[in-house]
Chains A and B, each alone.
Chain A
């Protein structure tokens, strides 16, 4: 068991290192560099100042040297300084983590619970009206681009029914502490979380419907029914518990893909999360910040994969360390 764990950790470490190097390469391939952006934000920059900035950021070094310096830094737990904001990358990331976590955890959990529930209900009568409704809902949810959904909601809630704020996480100048501050954040969370959840919901409900239907046709369900268990018990205890495995896989994967899903929603709703920061950092060629975020995201994927494996074993005792 310990050997297994160590081996996994070693794999993960090598994987992370490879990811970091690849990211580094990709970012440096894109045309233009951070000094260009900084010059842009300044309305021009003299040669001397540019040279000074380049030297300061190490951009005057050969690519491999830059990579070496960066890897060495990362191995020492230092993510460096943001070129654009001139602040430690770790600080910038930590500042944004809570917003992204709040958004993603809320929407993924909401989608997971409702999706599984709806899917299971639909699986009972695959041709009933409820099932048709769920199918329709998931087709809409799955095919409507998330930014489109967000914009439609903004239009709806900005002009027709102005009951939810359509951007930011807090009201400007409002008190941030205590219950009032929390309610303010929750109020702002409604639309972005709903937008993101809607997409996930489609996936979960389809998946749950299919796998529960599959489970319902299995022999042990017939046995369960034959020994006189109530339909409820059959559905939730036997069929769902078996059928939910793929959905959990999905959940694990999705938590890993935190950023991918969040970037669009965060951009549309000006939600101050990591996704927005990543997007802006690409535009600014802010290499250290972007690399830091990507590293953080990769780390998250690795951790979530391990946790998903763990969750399998809890849900289905048949699965042993493989």
Chain B
């Protein structure tokens, strides 16, 4: 009986959906609950003191930021209705909207912007993002002027929702440490399109429409629920059953293949340009024999990236061509690509003085992999083990039971080679420089744990970071990329095949470079 009812209901709703689709394709509808499934567990909801996609997703709904960015990396007004970056690149003036209020009804003023920028500079893990910012002036309640000690073109991308939540000064400036502020998890107040109804750590965040949101008629949705489940397959079942409407950050080929075959699921890999997630193999260049660039190049020549893309990732990933993600305006073309060439690999090793012994072996190395994703970690490591054997390198795969164990090993430079997943985070200053600057060789994960040193690279990055002319900046990053691809402290493998899956009834999902790390004020669900 139940089953029959369900089938009748399903048929009826399918029929309804078809007619609604035709009628409502371009007219947004008010109301409805959007359930987003996520494998990421946010520590709390305040993106001002916590980076990462887990917190950014709810944080960008709760807090508004000065600007937002479209799919072409172009800024658009958000809390700021206009802005001006001075010709010398050292002053950014933001003009705020008159009608913007926080969830508690108090107006958003330049004092809040000044407080937030300085608080983020002080507390946010991305220290390079606002490093040159000296102070923020507030000549009037709607004007904030950011002063910087040197030209800092990255400041514009730093105004994105995911990186620059504007906090109400009257709530968060109460003398408590912002990183452990109780209102990061409960009673969160921002000026974004949704207010916080409930946050259950490790389970879900329930957000409700903010009626006084500064953009008229927005948002369309009544409610957004972010449901956490560490198991992606379980989430996909939820999407298929209709319990969940949107599933961002899906990478697993099994999941993607199944979703692709399902006509009811819309799948896109757009919206991940901003975070720019790369999968790579890092070399410990401080250790012999990996201190020799020829050995690293030989390993690259022995690696068939096409196999990793087509077989391991089932064709869903794109190959990574360098340290800057291909969709970034700063990505260079024509970089050395190290297409599979075992003979050349052997020659390079010979040149470097690693002749094959009687057993055909030249050297032995270890490879670590980041636990969490078998596809990008363990499988790549196992593939490389069998592949490098062909050029006489015996590889031992070292497993880590969990993330902290692996992170500890890499942070203390106790590795030969390791797979890793690292984000560009928009501007290269934020997410790229850290990996290559010799001043950033630290005992910390996601710094220059490769111990890579090249004075020219240091120089180029330093210049590019403060170059305000886009073309000149591109040229500087172009040279940087060429050098890195020759020195090869890192072998770039793939762009992480992040995909967003959604049911067909959902329209108007954010389509900028930050994808779902953007306000969902234009999203609506067809009836």
Q: List residues of chain A with CB under 8 Å of any chain B CB.
A: 30-34, 36-47, 49-50, 56, 82, 84-87, 92, 95, 154, 158, 161-163, 165-168, 171-173, 267-268, 270, 272, 276-277, 280, 282-285
Stretch at the interface among B167-175, B314-322, B397-405: B397-405
Residues in B356-407 with C-beta less than 8 Å from chain A: 402-407
Given A86-B185, A168-B227, A172-B243: A41 and B405 within 8 A (CB)?
A: no
Candidates A39, A40, A85; contact of B201 at CB < 8 Å: A85
State A39–B234 Cα separation when bound (angstroms).
Answer: 27
With contact pairs A39-B445, A86-B44, A272-B202 given, residues A283 and B229 touching in the complex (Cβ less than 8 Å) = no
Q: Are A47 and B444 neighbours in the complex by a CB distance under 8 Å?
A: yes
Chain A residue with the shortest CB-CB distance to B10 = A162
Closest 8 CB pairs of A and B: A32-B404, A44-B446, A173-B33, A32-B408, A172-B35, A36-B407, A42-B125, A270-B229
Indicate if the CB atoms of B407 and A86 lie closer than 8 Å.
no
Q: What separation, in Å, do the CA atoms of A268 and B206 have in the docked complex? A: 23
Distance in Å: Cβ of B20 to nearest Cβ of chain A: 20
Q: Determine the residue in chain A with the shortest Cβ distance to B277.
A: A43
CB within 8 Å of A: which of B171-225?
179-180, 184-185, 200-204, 206, 223, 225
Among B50-58, B92-100, B487-495, the stretch in contact with A? B50-58
- Which residue of A34, A41, A84, A282 has the most chain B CB atoms within 10 A of its CB atom? A41
Asked, given contacts A56-B180, A163-B2, whether A280 binds B202 with beta carbons under 8 Å apart, the answer is yes
Residue B126 CB within 8 A of the other chain: yes
Residue from the list B35, B229, B423 in contact with A167, Cβ < 8 A: B229
Instruction: Give CA–CA (A37, B43) in the complex, Å.
Output: 11
B residues lining the A interface (CB < 8 Å): 2-3, 6, 33, 35, 41, 43-44, 50-52, 54, 123, 125-127, 179-180, 184-185, 200-204, 206, 223, 225, 227, 229-231, 234, 237-238, 240-241, 243-244, 402-409, 411, 423, 425, 431, 434, 442, 444-447
Which of A92, A162, A173 is the one whose CB lies under 8 Å from B6?
A162
Residues from chain B with Cβ under 8 Å of A47 in the complex: 442, 444
**Distance to closest chain B CB from A97 (angstroms):** 13
Contact assessment for A172 and B444 in the assembled complex, using a CB-CB cutoff below 8 Å: no
Residues of B contacting A277 in the complex (Cβ-Cβ under 8 angstroms): 202
Bound-state CA distance A87–B43 (Å) is 10
Contact between chains at A86 and B184 (CB < 8 Å): yes
Known: A33-B404, A49-B125, A92-B201. A39 touches B237 (CB 8 A): no
Q: Do B33 and A166 have beta carbons less than 8 Å apart?
A: no
Interchain CA distance A30-B51 in the complex, whole Å: 26
Contacts of B229 in A (CB 8 A): 167-168, 270
* Complex CA–CA separation, A171 to B54 (angstroms): 21
**B52→A42 contact, CB < 8 A:** yes
Q: A40-B445, A43-B51, A277-B202 are in contact. Are A172 and B407 (CB under 8 A)?
A: no
Docked CA distance A234–B206 (Å): 58
- Residues of chain B contacted by A158 (CB below 8 angstroms): 237, 240-241
Contacts of B206 in A (CB 8 A): 173
Could you tell me if A50 and B444 are in contact, using CB atoms closer than 8 angstroms? yes
14 CB-based A-B contacts, threshold 8 Å = A32-B402, A36-B445, A39-B125, A40-B403, A41-B54, A47-B444, A86-B180, A158-B237, A172-B225, A173-B35, A173-B225, A280-B230, A283-B403, A284-B404
Given contacts A39-B445, A47-B442, contact A166 B237 (CB under 8 A): yes
Decide if B407 touches A40 in the complex (CB within 8 Å). Answer: yes
Q: Could you tell me the distance between the alpha carbons of A204 and B151 in the complex, rounded to whole angstroms?
A: 74
Q: How far is the CB of A279 from chain B (nearest CB, A)?
A: 9
Q: How far is the CB of A280 from chain B (nearest CB, A)?
A: 6
A-chain residues with CB within 8 Å of residue B244 when the two chains form the complex: 172
Q: Which residue on B lies nearest to A85, using beta carbons? A: B201
Residue of B nearest to A48 (CB): B127
Asked if A162 and B241 sit within 8 Å, CB to CB, the answer is: yes
Identify which of B43, B126, B202, B406 contacts A38 (C-beta below 8 A): B43
CA distance A21 to B35 in the complex (A): 43
Q: Are A85 and B44 in contact, with the CB atoms below 8 A? A: yes
Chain A neighbourhood of B35, CB < 8 A: 172-173
B238 in contact with A39 (CB, 8 Å): no
Other 18 A-B pairs with CB < 8 A, given A32-B403, A37-B407: A32-B408, A40-B407, A41-B52, A45-B125, A56-B180, A85-B43, A85-B185, A166-B237, A167-B229, A172-B225, A172-B243, A268-B231, A270-B230, A272-B202, A272-B203, A280-B41, A282-B402, A283-B403
